[in-house]
């Protein structure tokens, strides 16, 4: 099993979570690749739709995110980890999500009564979204879970597994990510 | 007269940005209603997030009202805008005296259902609350592409009836210093959803063709091993 962990964990609690994940990865079956977003060079999406109509599936910016996307597309599981920011992803992780628009096709499909885009790749990793914070409001957590579901509707195959990590007690939520599972 | 700052949260060039167009349309309506005069102050936040923000923050601090327009990107705010809002948050913490700026957000999406902007509006509301800004309400616009195509059609046309209603609500709230809560509004131009989706599909194929691509090329899976 191949897994990818894309994280924005610059603060103390983030580093603690990352330390836990790295330790867990060492003792779990399969391969785990970590991408630290603070160490990557990446442009913000410019809204040109080049990844749909110029070079389908490929962003016009050929920076560090290209290798992240390649790894993610060919993995069995992907875990995104960032601080919950006003109920959304952190700015760095949001840039990644925008830049991965090419994971979807430009066309429309109706899903759960709303218009969405079909997915580009037939095989796609099982998505996990973990947002952390030690002082989160209820509505921040609620909206974080909702936006995770939306991400799943538009980009990913299968339901997203969203986690809110408020303290070390919530680390058990990561167990399903490390469990061996076939696509 | 209240100082209104129009914030453009789209990373696209002015001419191709729907958000920029929406801000111009709102400004023109507010002028018609005698709520503001003269050339609107439209601040476009740059896509590059490594440039200095001092000049922008000064403008943002001095305004009484922000009217922010942005496109919906993967169901939330565009990445570059999230960066700028985060940096403004850090800047605001350093301020000795905070102004209670009124905030309105206008979010547009390419899907026919305007309601798909609901979560992004909620994120803006949480942002305002956490930063002691006076969140008033938001407007979610569906069929963004159709709005752009209907640029030449007057706001008072029946096709834009719901949009006009949302502009009127915005104008009334700017005028009255009423603190009562207002529900977010979800509007779009009057156009059949099915036709919008069909035209959208045809449009993508046509734009691909202009780049020398056949329809099947649009389905490429370049990174799959």
A43 to chain B, minimum CA–CA distance in Å? 8
B111 touches B147 (CB < 8 A): no
Contact list in A for residue B197 (CB cut-off 8 A) is: 108, 115
Contact list in A for residue B225 (CB cut-off 8 A) is: 74
> Average pLDDT over chain A, rounded to whole?
93
Spatial separation of the C-alpha atoms in residues B100 and B162, rounded to whole Å: 29
Angle between helices B79-93 and B54-62 (to 10 degrees): 70
Enumerate residues 6+ apart whose C-beta is below 8 A from B208.
Answer: A52, A53, A56, B214, B215, B217, B218
pLDDT over 60 (residue B182): yes
A120 touches A102 (CB < 8 A): yes
**DSSP secondary structure of chain A:** -EEEEEE---SHHHHHHHHHHHHHHHTSSSEEEEEEGGGS--PPP-S--HHHHTSTTS-S--STHHHHHHHHHT-SEEEEEEE-BTTB--HHHHHHHHHGGGGB-SS-EEETTEEEPPBS-SS-PEEEEEEE-SS--HHHHHHHHHHHHHHHHHT-SS--EEEEE-SGGGGGGGHHHHS----
Q: A69 — contact with chain B (CB < 8 Å)?
A: yes
Question: Across-strand partners of B106?
Answer: B69, B139
Q: What does the pLDDT read at residue A181?
A: 60
pLDDT over 80 (residue A156): no
Instruction: Write down the residue that tokens 């990557």 correspond to.
Output: A40
Q: A114 — contact with chain B (CB < 8 Å)?
A: yes
Please report how many Cα atoms fall inside a 13 Å half-sphere around the Cα of residue A28, on the Cβ side.
21
pLDDT over 70 (residue B214): yes
Q: What is the mean pLDDT of residues B99-116?
A: 96
Q: What does the pLDDT read at residue A183?
A: 44
Q: What is the mean pLDDT of residues A118-145?
A: 93
Percentage of chain B beyond pLDDT 70 is 100
Of B71, B80, B208, the CB nearest to A53: B208
> Average pLDDT over chain B, rounded to whole?
95
Q: What is the mean pLDDT of residues B110-130?
A: 97
What counts of helices (H) and strands (E) characterise chain A? 6, 7
Contact map slice: B 133-192 vs A, CB within 8 A: none
Q: What is the mean pLDDT of residues A3-15?
A: 97
CB atoms within 10 A of CB B66: 21
pLDDT over 90 (residue A160): no
Phi first, then psi: give them for residue B139, nearest 5 degrees. -125, 125
A72 touches A34 (CB < 8 A): no
Query: What does DSSP say about strands A114-116 and A109-111: parallel, antiparallel, or unpaired?
Result: antiparallel
Q: What is the mean pLDDT of residues B184-199?
A: 97
Write the burial class of residue B194 (CB in 10 Å: 0-12 exposed, 13-18 middle, 19+ buried). Answer: exposed
A106 to chain B, minimum CA–CA distance in Å? 7
pLDDT band at B171, cuts 50/70/90?
A: very high
A73 to chain B, minimum CA–CA distance in Å? 6
Three-state DSSP at B63 gives: coil
The strand ranges marked E within B142-220 are 185-187
**Cross-chain residue pair A107–B204, CB shorter than 8 Å:** yes
pLDDT over 80 (residue B202): yes
pLDDT band at A111, cuts 50/70/90?
A: confident
Spatial separation of the C-alpha atoms in residues B150 and B45, rounded to whole Å: 25
pLDDT band at A179, cuts 50/70/90?
A: confident
Q: What does the pLDDT read at residue B38?
A: 84
pLDDT band at A95, cuts 50/70/90?
A: very high
Query: What does DSSP say about strands A77-83 and A2-7: parallel, antiparallel, or unpaired?
Result: parallel
Phi first, then psi: give them for residue B206, nearest 5 degrees. -65, -40
Contact list in A for residue B76 (CB cut-off 8 A) is: 88-89, 94, 97, 147
**Cross-chain residue pair A114–B80, CB shorter than 8 Å:** no
Contact list in B for residue A49 (CB cut-off 8 A) is: 207
CB atoms within 10 A of CB B162: 18
What digits encode the pLDDT tens for the residues B69-92? Answer: 999 999 999 999 999 999 999 999
Nearest residue in chain B measured CA to CA from A138:
B126
What digits encode the pLDDT tens for the residues B6-51? Answer: 999 999 988 789 999 999 999 999 999 999 888 899 999 999 877 8
Q: What does the pLDDT read at residue B187?
A: 98
pLDDT over 70 (residue A158): no
Spatial separation of the C-alpha atoms in residues B17 and B19, rounded to whole Å: 5
pLDDT band at A180, cuts 50/70/90?
A: confident
Please report how many Cα atoms fall inside a 13 Å half-sphere around the Cα of residue B172, on the Cβ side.
9
């Amino acid at each position: 099993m191949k897994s990818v962990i894309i994280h924005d964990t610059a603060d103390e609690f983030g580093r603690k979570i990352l330390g836990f994940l790295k330790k867990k990865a060492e003792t779990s079956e399969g391969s785990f690749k970590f991408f630290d977003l603070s160490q990557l060079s990446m442009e913000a999406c410019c809204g040109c739709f080049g990844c749909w109509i110029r070079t389908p599936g490929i962003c016009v910016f050929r920076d560090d995110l290209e290798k992240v996307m390649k790894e993610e597309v060919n993995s069995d599981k992907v875990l995104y980890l960032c601080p919950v920011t006003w109920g959304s992803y952190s700015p760095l992780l949001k840039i990644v999500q925008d830049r991965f628009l090419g994971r979807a096709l430009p066309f429309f499909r109706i899903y759960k009564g709303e218009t969405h885009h079909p997915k580009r790749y037939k095989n796609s990793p099982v998505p996990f979204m973990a947002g952390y914070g030690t002082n989160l409001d209820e509505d921040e957590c609620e909206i974080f879970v909702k936006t995770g579901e939306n991400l799943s509707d538009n980009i990913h195959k299968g339901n997203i597994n969203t986690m809110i990590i408020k303290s070390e007690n919530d680390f058990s939520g990561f167990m399903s990510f490390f469990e061996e599972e076939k696509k | 007269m209240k100082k209104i700052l129009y914030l453009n949260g789209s990373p696209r060039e002015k001419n191709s940005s729907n958000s920029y167009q929406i801000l111009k349309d709102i400004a023109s309506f507010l002028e018609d209603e005698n709520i503001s005069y003269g050339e609107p102050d439209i601040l476009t936040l740059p896509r590059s997030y490594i440039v200095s923000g001092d000049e922008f923050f000064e403008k943002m601090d001095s305004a009484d009202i922000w009217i922010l327009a942005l496109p919906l990107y993967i169901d939330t705010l565009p990445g570059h805008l999230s960066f700028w809002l985060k940096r403004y948050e850090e800047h605001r913490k350093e301020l000795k005296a905070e102004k209670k700026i009124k905030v309105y957000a206008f979010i547009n999406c390419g899907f026919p259902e305007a309601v798909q902007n609901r979560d992004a509006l909620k994120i803006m509301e949480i942002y305002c609350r956490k930063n002691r800004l006076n969140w008033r309400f938001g407007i979610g616009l569906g069929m963004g592409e159709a709005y752009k195509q209907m640029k030449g059609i007057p706001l008072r046309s029946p096709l834009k009836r719901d949009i006009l209603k949302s502009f009127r609500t915005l104008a009334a709230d700017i005028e009255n210093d009423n603190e009562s809560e207002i529900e977010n509004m979800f509007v779009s131009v009057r156009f059949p959803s099915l036709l919008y989706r069909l035209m959208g599909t045809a449009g993508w194929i046509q734009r691909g063709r202009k780049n020398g691509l056949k329809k099947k090329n649009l389905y490429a899976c370049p990174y799959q091993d």
